[in-house]
């Protein structure tokens, strides 16, 4: 009984989030009509705050990696990702409260589903168990399908949801099939057991084809979740069609969780512990896998960037940009070492700030004008300078220029890639960054370089709350570009303790 209580205490954040998800559902029943958005949103925020508090208490507690019920683990890595997810959810909730795009009724369910999706992200971040990983992924995915189609009666939203569910279900099915093969080869669904067993198989020289097939199928599922090539086709349509707060959630929290699971999966199963000296074949396989990921990374960033060049819709452009960014992050994954994974963590935090900000501006703009075209932003800088200035900060970070966090994030990815010997990849990524300047700055051009007289829309006021949100994100974006040492240590620490 005591043991149970102790293990339960390690999943307080999850329990707290579940509890508040249910509270959100219940509160909705008792709130006066028309005030659901504010009230339920408020309760959701409280829940996220409480969850963040419990997470914060867990961070850095000894023992560093605490197994829970034999299928989850609480360590700084998972805590970092959970905090990441909670932060992203908080912003999405705030955006939703301030947005006019989501339906006026049915907010209780919306927040409930959103928090459930967050729960899925929690599981993805902290499990070594294939079953729980699959469950977490499905929880996150199914909730996301519903959210994408939440604007009922909106044809784009409906289309987005359908495309998302078709792609998503196929990808997760393929991944499940890959999981079963891994299970068949090792007789376990626990990655901590699968890893050593695979190592043994390499030692016995069974050949790598079955393992390659299984890994490939699994990677397809992850690639879909992080929208990496060649499984990125759903991204632009879904991002464009879904309500903007949902798009923000998909681009930030969902993608982050996908990366968390991918890192765990690779780390536990496919990276030989060089200190223990795994079999040579295993090392060779891990490097080959890394090269494959590197090629995918180059493909992803290039496809994303080239497609983004031609976009006229702001949200769609950001969708392609998020594909390109997945490519950059994959650079760090391709190194298949701790340093690279640490740079992935760093970049994801940076990505969180700049993308939340950019999507926030899109939402603000779409709310006030009902328009999402880049060209129609013209003259906006002069009309609402604060929003436009923060947007420039986000754009600069997305391009990856100093003194913003985007540069520092890319710096570590580049360093990790070059150190691993992927100089070509660094050069490709560099060229891609230069290309990306062109489409990101189309937005800056429209906002600032066109005179005020050309502005299509009259003064559009950001509500003080919304302006404050954007300002917080912009300050974060710039701050982590000049004072990033604490974040760097945090990421390093989280990564070093990953088994």
**Residues 426 to 455 in contact with other proteins, rule: CB under 8 A:** 426-427, 430-431, 433-434, 437-438, 441, 444-445, 448-449, 451
Region near other proteins per CB under 8 A, out of 82-90, 201-209, 325-333, 414-422: 414-422
Contacts of residue 187, Cβ cutoff 8 Å, sequence gap at least 6: 197
Distances (CA, A) of 492 to 80, 95, 104, 416, 475: 11, 31, 44, 13, 23
Question: Exposed e or buried b for every residue in 107-139, given b needs 16+ CB within 10 A?
Answer: bbbbbbbbbbbbbbbbbbbbbbbbebbbbbbbb
Subset of residues 292 to 331 that bind other proteins, contact rule: CB under 8 A: 310-312, 316
CA–CA separation, 226 and 262 (whole Å)? 9
Subset of residues 181 to 200 that bind other proteins, contact rule: CB under 8 A: 181, 183-184, 187-189
Verify binding: residue 396, other proteins, rule CB under 8 A. yes
Look at the alpha carbons of 226, 402, 306, 334 in this order and tell me if their dihedral is positive or negative. negative
CA–CA separation, 135 and 123 (whole Å)? 8
Residue for token digits 């905090």? 83
* Min separation Cβ 125 and other proteins, Å: 19
CA–CA separation, 177 and 180 (whole Å)? 5
Of 9 and 403, the one with the shorter C-beta distance to other proteins is: 403
Q: Which of residues 35, 403, 454, 465 is near other proteins by CB under 8 A?
A: 403
* Min separation Cβ 156 and other proteins, Å: 5
Asked whether the beta carbons of 178 and 214 are under 8 A apart, the reply is: yes
* Min separation Cβ 385 and other proteins, Å: 8
* Min separation Cβ 45 and other proteins, Å: 26
* Min separation Cβ 275 and other proteins, Å: 18
Of 19 and 135, the one with the shorter C-beta distance to other proteins is: 135
Subset of residues 356 to 395 that bind other proteins, contact rule: CB under 8 A: 382, 392
Kindly write down the DSSP assignment for every residue of 48-104, as one continuous string. HHHHHHHHHHHTTPSSSSEEETTTEEE-HHHHHHHHHHHHHHHHHHHHHHH-SSS-S
Of 285 and 440, the one with the shorter C-beta distance to other proteins is: 440
Subset of residues 146 to 165 that bind other proteins, contact rule: CB under 8 A: 146, 149, 152-153, 155-156, 158-159, 161-163, 165
* Min separation Cβ 403 and other proteins, Å: 6
CA–CA separation, 127 and 135 (whole Å)? 10
Of 98 and 348, the one with the shorter C-beta distance to other proteins is: 348
Give the three-class secondary structure for 465: helix
Of 360 and 406, the one with the shorter C-beta distance to other proteins is: 406
Question: Exposed e or buried b for every residue in 354-373, given b needs 16+ CB within 10 A?
Answer: bbbbbbbbbbbbbbbbeebb
Subset of residues 219 to 258 that bind other proteins, contact rule: CB under 8 A: 236-237, 240-241
Q: Determine the size of the site formed for other proteins (CB under 8 A).
A: 77
* Min separation Cβ 326 and other proteins, Å: 20
CA–CA separation, 66 and 274 (whole Å)? 23
Of 45 and 210, the one with the shorter C-beta distance to other proteins is: 210
* Min separation Cβ 43 and other proteins, Å: 25
Q: Quick one: tokens of 235?
A: 């991204």
* Min separation Cβ 273 and other proteins, Å: 21
Asked whether the beta carbons of 406 and 481 are under 8 A apart, the reply is: yes
Subset of residues 108 to 147 that bind other proteins, contact rule: CB under 8 A: 130-131, 134-135, 138, 142, 145-146
* Min separation Cβ 393 and other proteins, Å: 10
Subset of residues 459 to 488 that bind other proteins, contact rule: CB under 8 A: 483-485, 488
- What backbone torsions phi and psi does residue 211 show, to the nearest 5 degrees? -65, -40
Prior bond to 403 cis, omega within 30?
yes
Q: Which of residues 42, 53, 59, 177 is near other proteins by CB under 8 A?
A: 177
């Amino acid at each position: 009984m005591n043991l149970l209580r102790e293990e339960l205490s390690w999943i307080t954040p999850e329990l707290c989030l579940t509890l508040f998800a249910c509270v959100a559902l219940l509160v909705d029943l008792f709130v006066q009509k028309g005030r659901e958005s504010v009230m339920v949103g408020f309760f959701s925020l409280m829940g996220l705050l409480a969850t963040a508090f419990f997470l914060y208490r867990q961070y850095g507690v000894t023992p560093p990696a605490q197994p829970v019920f034999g299928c989850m683990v609480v360590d700084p890595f998972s805590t970092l990702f959970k905090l990441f997810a909670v932060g992203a959810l908080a912003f999405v909730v705030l955006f939703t409260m301030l947005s006019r795009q989501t339906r006026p009724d049915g907010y209780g369910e919306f927040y409930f589903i959103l928090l459930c999706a967050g729960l899925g992200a929690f599981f993805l971040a902290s499990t070594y168990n294939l079953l729980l990983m699959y469950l977490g992924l499905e929880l996150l995915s199914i909730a996301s399908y519903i959210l994408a189609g939440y604007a009922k009666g909106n044809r784009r939203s409906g289309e987005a949801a359908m495309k998302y569910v078709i792609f998503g279900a196929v990808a997760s099915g393929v991944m499940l099939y890959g999981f079963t093969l891994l299970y068949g080869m090792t007789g376990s669904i626990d990655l901590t057991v699968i890893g050593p067993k695979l190592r043994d198989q390499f030692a016995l020289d069974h050949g790598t084809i079955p393992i390659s097939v299984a890994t490939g199928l699994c990677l397809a599922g992850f690639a879909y979740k992080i929208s990496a090539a060649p499984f990125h086709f759903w991204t632009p349509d879904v991002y464009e069609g879904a309500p903007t707060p949902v798009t923000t959630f998909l681009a930030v929290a969902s993608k982050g969780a996908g990366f968390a699971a991918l890192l765990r999966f690779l780390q536990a199963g496919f990276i030989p512990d060089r200190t223990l000296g795994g079999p040579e074949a295993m090392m060779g396989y891990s490097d080959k896998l890394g090269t494959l990921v590197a090629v995918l990374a180059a493909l992803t960033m290039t496809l994303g960037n080239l497609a983004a060049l031609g976009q006229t819709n702001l949200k769609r452009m950001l969708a392609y940009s998020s594909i390109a960014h997945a490519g950059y992050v994959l650079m760090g994954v391709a190194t298949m070492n701790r340093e690279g994974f640490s740079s992935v963590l760093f970049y994801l935090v940076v990505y969180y700030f700049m993308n939340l900000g950019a999507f926030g501006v899109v939402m603000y703009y779409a709310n006030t004008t009902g328009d999402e075209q880049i060209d129609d932003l013209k003259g906006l800088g002069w009309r609402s300078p604060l929003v436009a200035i923060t947007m420039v900060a986000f754009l600069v970070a997305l391009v990856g220029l100093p003194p913003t966090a985007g540069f520092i994030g890319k710096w570590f990815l580049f360093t990790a890639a070059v150190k691993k010997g992927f100089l070509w990849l660094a050069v490709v990524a560099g060229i891609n960054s230069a290309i990306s300047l062109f489409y990101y700055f189309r937005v800056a051009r429209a906002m600032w370089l066109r005179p005020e007289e050309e502005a299509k829309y009259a003064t559009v006021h950001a509500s003080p709350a919304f302006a404050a949100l954007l300002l917080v994100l912009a300050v974060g974006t710039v701050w982590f570009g000049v004072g990033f040492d604490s974040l760097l240590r945090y990421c390093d620490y989280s990564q070093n303790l990953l088994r």
